């Protein structure tokens, strides 16, 4: 998933120590939840297919879900402390 040049990682400030606005964090959390749900649904379909060609894609989906869940945890922590 490409990240726009204007965005920052969940654990980083926007500029010179500024924290990101809560609305931006909530929006990013919403997008991550959609991404996790979509990838989880796709993973379920590929697991059911049990096709050798799909093994690499399945691995990529699992990696995407894991990374997204880690980012979601960071954003949830930022929202909780905002």
User: What DSSP string runs through 21-64?
Assistant: PHHHHHHHHHHHHHHHHHHHHHHHHHHHHT-TTHHHHHHHHHHH
Residue 29's pLDDT band (boundaries 50, 70, 90)?
very high
- pTM of structure: 0.72
* Residues 37-80 pLDDT 10s: 999 999 998 888 887 767 888 899 999 999 999 999 999 999 99
Q: Among 36, 34, 25, which residue's Cα sits nearest to residue 69? A: 36
Q: Between 25 and 10, whose confidence is greater?
A: 25
Q: Are 57 and 14 in contact (CB under 8 A)?
A: no
State the pLDDT at residue 48: 86
State the pLDDT at residue 49: 83
Domain positions in the chain: 22-81
């Amino acid at each position: 998933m490409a990240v726009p040049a204007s965005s920052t990682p969940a654990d980083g400030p926007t500029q010179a120590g500024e924290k990101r606005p809560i609305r931006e964090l909530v929006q990013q959390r919403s997008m991550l939840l959609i991404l996790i749900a979509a990838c989880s649904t796709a993973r379920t379909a590929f697991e059911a297919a049990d096709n050798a060609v799909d093994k690499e894609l399945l691995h990529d989906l699992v990696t995407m879900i894991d990374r997204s869940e880690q980012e979601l945890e960071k954003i949830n922590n930022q929202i909780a402390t905002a």
